[in-house]
Structure 1
Amino acid sequence: MDLRKLIYSWKYPSILLFGIGISNIGSWVYFIALNLIVFNMTGSPLAVAALYIIRPFAAVCINLWSGSFIDRLNKKHVMIFLDVLHGVVIVCLALFSASLWMIYVLVFLINMASSVYGPTSVSYITMLIPAEKRQRFNSLRSLIDSGAFFIGPAITGLLFIIGSPIYAIYINAFAYFFSAIVTLFMPNLEKNRTNDKTAGEKMSMKVFKEDWMVVLKFSRKFLYVMTIYFLFSVFIVMQTAVDSLEVAFSKEVLVLTDSEYGFLVSIAGAGILTGALINVIFTKKLTVSMLIGAGAVVVSAGYLIFAFSSSFTVAAAGVFLLAFANAFANTGFYTFYQNNIPVKVMGRIGSLYGFAEAFLIIIATAAFAIGAQVLSIQAMVISGAVLMLLLTAALFCLAVQPSKNNFYKIIPEDVKTS
C-alpha cells in the first residue's frame, strides 16, 4: 500500500481519534474542577465521594433498556445528539453550581448520557474500523487517553491560576460541542438500513424482554466469548473498588504528604504513557490473547506490590507497573470485543453487561468502604489485590488456550453469527 492510500485509509479513524482526544481532555478538566467545586462548597469528603457513586448508579438506571435503542437508531446521529446534550447539561452545571443538589442531579444526567454514549461509540467504531486495523486503532486510542491524563490536569491547573473552576467546566462543555462537530464529518454508516427489520420497531416492555432474551441466547451460544467479557468486567470492578481506597491507603498506611501523593499520581501517568507508547510501537507483534491475559495479570501484580508496600519507592513501583500494563490489557479487551460481538447486537450486549458491571461496582465499593472501617484499609487493599490476581490468572488461562485461537483472529461477520 502506497503512502497516499495509507493516509486515505486512516482519514476517518484519525478524525475520530482527534475528536476522542479533545473530549477526553475536556473530561479530565471537568472531573478535577467538579471535585474541587463540591469540596470548596461543602468541605466534606463524603460530598465528593457521592460524585463517584452517581456514575454507576446512573448506569444501573439506564443500561437495562438503552441497548435496545442503540441497536435500532443511527449511531452517528445518537453520538452527535449525546455530545450536544452533554455540552448543554454541563453549561447548566456551571450556571447552577451554587446548589449542591442541582449539581448532583445534573451530574446524574451527564452520567446517564455517558452510559449510552459508550456502547454507541463502540458500535460505530466497530463498523468504521476494518477488523485488521482495530488493534492498531485501539492502541492509538490508549495512547490518546494517556495523553489526556497529562494534558487535562495541566490545563485545569492553568485555568485555576488565571480564573476559577467554573471556567474549567465551560471548557468541558466546549470540548463536547467540538466533538459533536467532529462527528458531523464522519461517514453515516447506517443511512441505508432498509434490510434491518428492527430499525423502525416501536419500543415497549415486550421488545425490551425480547432483547434481553437475545443477549441471554447469545451468551449461551458464545459462552467462551462472554466468559472472557464477564471476567474482564469483574476485573474492572475490582480495580474500581481498590482505587476507591487509594487516597486513604496512601495517606494513612504509607503516611505520604500531599506532595508525595501528587508525585505518586504523576508516576502512574508516566506508566500509562510509557505502556501506551510501547503498545503502539509493537502492536503488530502482540497477540490479542496475550494482551488480555498477560496484561491483566501484570496489572494485578502491580496492585499487589502497591498493597504490600511500606515505603514510597515500593508503592511507586507498583503504581507504575499497574498503570503501564493497563494500556495493553484495555487494547486487547476492546479488540477482542469488537472482533467477536456482532454490531447488530453490540448495543444490547454492552448495555446489559454494563448494567451488571455498574451494579457490581456499587456493591464492591460499598463493601470495601465498610471493610476498611471494620477491619483496616490495608487489609481490604491486600484482599482486593489478591482476589484480582486470582481472577486475572483464570482470565489468562482461558485466553491463552490453543484451542481458542480462532476467537483472537480476524473472523468475518457472517462466520461469527452463523
Structure 2
Amino acid sequence: MRALVSARLGADFTKLWTASAVSNIGDGVTMAAGPLLVASITADPALVAGAVFVQQLPWLIFALISGAYVDRLDRRRLVVLVNALRAVALTPLTLAVATDTVTVALIYTVFFLLGTGETLADTASGAFLPAIVAPERLATANARLMATFTVANQFVAKPLGAWLFVIAAAAPFGVNALTFAVAAALVATIRPVPAPPSAPRTSLGAEIGEGLRWLWRHRLLRTLAVSMGLGNVAFCAAFAVFVLYARQRLGLSDIGYGFLLTTFAVGGLLGTLLAPRLQATFGASALLRTGLIVEVVTHATLAITRTPLVAAGILIVFGIHTMVWGVIVVTLRQRVVPRHLLGRVGSVYALLDLGGAALGSLLGGVLARTWGLTTPFWLAATAMAMITVAAWRPLRESSANN
C-alpha cells in the first residue's frame, strides 16, 4: 500500500501519511483513556468534561497567533519540534499515573499543553500539504489522510486505549508519547520545500487581520466556518460527557465505551470511501446541506435512545457525514486560499471550529450536572436545527468548486 501511495502522491506524502497514522494512534489512545482516567478520580460531570475543555481551550487562546507563526516559520520544522515537545509533555503524566500520584490539576495541565501544540502542528500540517502534493491530487491526499485518521485514531486506537487503561492505567499515555516521537522523526526526513511568496513582514496583529479579512470575504468558507463553529458548540456540549452517557444511560462497561467510539470510525471510513462518488453524483452543496440534517437527527436520536445498538447505528451515519464534509471543506480551502495565507486562514477557521468545541465542552458538563445527561443532546438537536435553517440558502447558492 505504501508503494502505491508513493507512486501516486510522492515519497514525501508517504512520510507525512505514515507520521499521521502513527500519531493518530497515540492521540486516539489518549482520547479514550483520558476521560476514563478523570472518571476514575471523580464522578463530577463538570470535571470530566473539563478534561476535554482544557485540551480545546488553546484553540480559543492561540489559534490566530499559531496561524500567523505557521505562515512565518518553516512548516516542516515546526511540526517536528511541536511533536517532540508533546512527547516530553506526556512524560510526567505517565509517571504520575504509574505511581498513583496523578491529580486532576496535572491532567488538565498536560492536556492544555497538548492542545497548545495541536494548534501549531495541525495548522502547519494542513498548510504544508499543498507544498508536497499537486493541486489536482489534493482531494485524494486529504481523503487518504482522513481515512488514516479514521482507522488509526478511532477504529484501532479507541478500543486499544480503553483496553490499555484497564490493563495498566499509565500505558496509554506512554504509548502516546512514543508515537509523537516517531512522528517527529518521520516528518524530519521530508525534503525541505521553498517558502511561499509573501508580502513584506508587518506586525503580528496586521498579519492575523489579513487572514481574518480574507476568510470573511469568501462567502462559502465564511458560511462553513460559522456554521461548524456554532455546530461544534452544540456537538461538544453533548459529547463532552459521552463517557458518562455510555455508562449511565446505555449501561456499557469501559471496554464497551471504547467499542462504541469505534462506530465513528466505521462511518468515517465509509465516508472517505464514498466521498468522491457522492460528490460526483449529488454535488458538494447538496452534501453539505444534508450533513446539517444528519447532525440534527444524530443528537435527537441519542437523546431518546437507551439502546446501545441504536446509538451505534446513528453514530455510523454521523461518521459518514463528518468525513464527507471534511474532505469537501479541507480540499476547498487548500485550493482557493493563497499559499502564503494558508496558515492564517486555516487558523481562523480552526478558531471558529475548535473554539466552538471548547465552549461546548465547558457548557456540556454544567448542563449535564444541572439537568441530566440527555439535556445537552436535546439542546444540540435544537441548535443544529436553527443553524440548518440559517445556512441552507447560502450553501444552496454557493458552489464548493469555485
**Does the 8 A contact of 1:63 with 1:115 survive in 2?**
yes
**Does the 8 A contact of 1:74 with 1:190 survive in 2?**
no
Q: Distance in 2 between matches of 1:21 and 1:378?
A: 34
Scaled by the length of structure 2, the TM-score of the pair is 0.84
Q: Distance in 2 between matches of 1:4 and 1:324?
A: 25
**Does the 8 A contact of 2:271 with 2:320 survive in 1?**
yes
| Residue 156 in structure 1 maps to residue 161 in structure 2 | yes
| 3-state SS of paired residue (1:211) | helix
| Residue 300 in structure 1 maps to residue 305 in structure 2 | no
1:238 partner amino acid: A
1:408 partner amino acid: N
Q: Deviations over 1:364-402 (max 9, x none)?
A: 44444444455554344223113213323544542332x
**Does the 8 A contact of 1:303 with 1:322 survive in 2?**
no
For 1:12, the equivalent position in structure 2 comes to: 12
Q: Distance in 1 between matches of 2:142 and 2:259?
A: 28
Q: Deviations over 1:201-255 (max 9, x none)?
A: 4xxxx71221233134324432343222222332233221221244455555x55
Q: Distance in 2 between matches of 1:24 and 1:6?
A: 20
How many pairs does the alignment contain? 394
1:11 partner amino acid: A
Q: Distance in 1 between matches of 2:208 and 2:391?
A: 26
1:387 partner amino acid: A
**Residue of structure 1 aligned with 2:385, choices 366, 389, 394:** 389
The within-5 A match list for 1:401-416 is 401=397, 404-405=398-399, 407-409=400-402
For 1:118, the equivalent position in structure 2 comes to: 122
Q: Shift of residue 48 of structure 1?
A: 3.4
Structure 1 runs not aligned, ≥5 long: 410-418
Structure 2 runs not aligned, ≥5 long: none
Taking structure 1 as reference, are residues 212 and 154 closer, same or farther at Cα in structure 2, changes over 3 Å only? closer
| 3-state SS of paired residue (2:170) | helix
Larger radius of gyration: 1
What is the RMSD of the two structures over their aligned residues, measured on CA atoms? 3.2
Which stretch of the first structure deviates more once superposed, 283-292 or 382-391? Answer: 283-292
| 3-state SS of paired residue (2:203) | helix
For 2:272, the equivalent position in structure 1 comes to: 276
For 2:229, the equivalent position in structure 1 comes to: 233
| 3-state SS of paired residue (1:408) | coil
The within-5 A match list for 1:69-108 is 69-97=69-97, 98-100=101-103, 101-108=105-112
Taking structure 1 as reference, are residues 158 and 212 closer, same or farther at Cα in structure 2, changes over 3 Å only? closer
2:311 partner amino acid: A
**Residue of structure 2 aligned with 1:190, choices 174, 186, 194:** 194
For 1:309, the equivalent position in structure 2 comes to: 305
| 3-state SS of paired residue (1:400) | helix
Q: Distance in 1 between matches of 2:29 and 2:192?
A: 30
| 3-state SS of paired residue (2:223) | helix
**Does the 8 A contact of 1:67 with 1:348 survive in 2?**
yes
**Residue of structure 1 aligned with 2:251, choices 249, 256, 261:** 256
